[in-house]
Amino acid sequence: MEPEDFDSEDKEVLNWDINDMKLPQNVKKTDWFQEWPDSYVKHIYSSEDRNAQRHLSSWAMRNTNNHNSRILKKSCLGVVVCGHNCSTKEGRKVYLRPAICDKARQKQQKKSCPNCNGPLKLIPCRGHGGFPVTNFWRHDGRFIFFQSKGEHDHPKPETKLEAEARRAMKKVHGAPASVSLKLKGNPGSKSLPGETQSQGSLPLTWSFQEGVQLPGSYSGHLIANTPQPNSLNDCLSFSKSYGSGGTTDLADPTSTLDPTKLYEKCRFSSNRIYNSGDLFQPSASGVYSDYDNLQAWNKNAALGRSPLNDNYCPNYPFPLTSWPCDFFPSQNSLENFPQQIPLEPPAAKTSCHPLWPNPGGELYEEKVPVDFNSYVPSLAYHPPQEDPFLFTYTPHPHQQCSLPGKSTKWDFEEEMTYMGLDHCNNEMLLNLCPLR
């Protein structure tokens, strides 16, 4: 759509700034929540969006006083890495989430690298003119306005859920899970009959975390006590967050909380990300959408990460498609997800996931930029020494994954074994797991 096609109201919706006295209220479509907002983006979320209400971000953002109670400002803390720049045997880098609390962060930095016992080092974010990237949140009317300034110049840290899961893991097991991993073998290097290695599964969250490598998608699954509603919430948000082009139709009457419909919607949403056309859909906030998607893509590709990964459900504690198979979210889980999910049927997959079966049934293989900042594959992955951010990726085709058994009782070993086998990416599962 050409800019001249916008009427004045549209322009108002598109050209707002977080500091404006008056923000647009004639927003027709709100954005899907973005968990990894980057670059100079703006989003308009529904005031019903729980994630937006909580001003969530998977970047480690701390509150910053801007002496303006109307606008909440947050600045990025960067990422905690090993001072020795060590790698695990599998070539994974250590990317820990900086503690938000100042004291906790100081304590954190006194701790040693879980991998090599070297010192931990905080890489500050300098993505905004040498200053940390800042995020602004403003509640106005029925909407929550979000604006990001700066581009993160550091790897993604582990997500909040991952960090919480890691802490919970420590509490429950008392010792680093690596002990267990050593006993059972490395999860990333082991496969079961009929299984293939995790690398091709693509959006694995394989950031190394204090002795335990947690695929983000299972981070909430590791500990039974880990609250799952948030994970589901996050997943669903992710399913909706396929790029800043995602929008939520406020008038969508299909926003029932019927789990089956939600699943179906989520499934559709999952498909959406592979529709190249979606990349250029205007977001509610519009202005940056098209350009920023491209920009983000290019940047992420340069950084070795893929926007597609952001569209994945890295914090989802179980394979999304296991709903109809082995698990169904509680109503409680769904309550945390007030946003609507678009009902469009899956668009033709003009651009497929590397492992997405094509219409002919064959797995489609495509080289895509992959986020190895936080999603580090194992095995064949060899980290370049000169630049840890530049990774090469060769997907392994023909991968299959199995869902966890029907038993709801997973002990830790089983979980780790399962996780180590092959983290099933949602999109693939969507095609492998029978629906209802």
User: Residue 340 Cβ, how far from DNA at the closest point, in Å?
Assistant: 23
Residues 279-308 touching DNA, rule: CB under 7 A, are: none
DSSP 96-111: BPPPSSHHHHHHHHHS
CB of 238 closer than 8 Å to CB of 315: yes
| Count of all residues that appear for the chain in the document | 436
Q: Where are the beta strands (DSSP E) in 29-92?
A: 29-31, 42-46, 61-64, 72-76, 79-82
Is 100 a residue that touches DNA (CB under 7 A)?
yes
Q: Which residue number, 79 or 363, has a Cβ lying nearer to DNA?
A: 79
User: Residue 70 Cβ, how far from DNA at the closest point, in Å?
Assistant: 9
Local structure of residue 34 (DSSP, 8 states): -
Is 104 a residue that touches DNA (CB under 7 A)?
yes
Provide the CB-side half-sphere exposure for 68 (13 A, CA).
14
User: Residue 173 Cβ, how far from DNA at the closest point, in Å?
Assistant: 17
Local structure of residue 383 (DSSP, 8 states): -
Per-residue binding string, DNA, 155-174, x by CB under 7 A, is -----x--x-----------
d(Cα 204, Cα 375) in Å, to the nearest integer?
A: 5
d(Cα 400, Cα 366) in Å, to the nearest integer?
A: 16
Is 402 a residue that touches DNA (CB under 7 A)?
no
Q: Which residue number, 63 or 358, has a Cβ lying nearer to DNA?
A: 63
d(Cα 403, Cα 196) in Å, to the nearest integer?
A: 13
User: Residue 72 Cβ, how far from DNA at the closest point, in Å?
Assistant: 4
Per-residue binding string, DNA, 111-140, x by CB under 7 A, is -----------------x--xx-x------
In which region does residue 304 sit, left (phi positive, over 0), alpha (psi from -120 to 50) or beta (all else)?
left
Residue tagged 């497929």 (tokens): 352
Q: Which residue number, 22 or 67, has a Cβ lying nearer to DNA?
A: 67
User: Residue 67 Cβ, how far from DNA at the closest point, in Å?
Assistant: 6
Q: Which stretch binds DNA (CB under 7 A): 39-47, 102-110, 247-255, 338-346?
A: 102-110
Number of shown-chain residues binding DNA (CB under 7 A): 30
Q: Which residue number, 160 or 240, has a Cβ lying nearer to DNA?
A: 160
Side chain identity at residue 96, one-letter code: L
Residues 6+ apart with CB under 8 A from 265: 239, 254, 341, 342, 343
Is 101 a residue that touches DNA (CB under 7 A)?
yes
Q: Which residue number, 93 or 160, has a Cβ lying nearer to DNA?
A: 160
Q: Which residue number, 55 or 261, has a Cβ lying nearer to DNA?
A: 55
Q: Which residue number, 228 or 431, has a Cβ lying nearer to DNA?
A: 228
Is 152 a residue that touches DNA (CB under 7 A)?
no
Is 73 a residue that touches DNA (CB under 7 A)?
yes
Q: Which residue number, 74 or 240, has a Cβ lying nearer to DNA?
A: 74
d(Cα 23, Cα 171) in Å, to the nearest integer?
A: 45
Residue from 30, 75, 333, 399 in contact with DNA (CB under 7 A): 75
CB of 397 closer than 8 Å to CB of 391: no
User: Residue 65 Cβ, how far from DNA at the closest point, in Å?
Assistant: 3
Rounded-to-5 percentages of helix, strand, coil across the chain: 30, 15, 55
Is 313 a residue that touches DNA (CB under 7 A)?
no
Residues 31-70 touching DNA, rule: CB under 7 A, are: 54-56, 61-67, 69
Q: Which residue number, 196 or 230, has a Cβ lying nearer to DNA?
A: 230
User: Residue 49 Cβ, how far from DNA at the closest point, in Å?
Assistant: 13
Tell me the CA distances in angstroms from 359 to 158, 221, 363, one per residue in order. 35, 32, 9
Q: Which stretch binds DNA (CB under 7 A): 3-11, 43-51, 98-106, 310-318?
A: 98-106
DSSP 128-174: BTTB--EEEEEEETTEEEEEEES---SPPPPPHHHHHHHHHHHHHHS
Per-residue binding string, DNA, 217-256, x by CB under 7 A, is ----------x-----------------------------
CB of 208 closer than 8 Å to CB of 115: yes
Q: Which residue number, 75 or 228, has a Cβ lying nearer to DNA?
A: 75
User: Residue 159 Cβ, how far from DNA at the closest point, in Å?
Assistant: 10
Residue from 29, 42, 43, 74 in contact with DNA (CB under 7 A): 74
Closest CA to 391 of 404, 376, 402, 405: 376
Residues that bind DNA in the complex, under the rule CB under 7 A? 54-56, 61-67, 69, 72-75, 99-105, 107, 128, 131-132, 134, 160, 163, 227
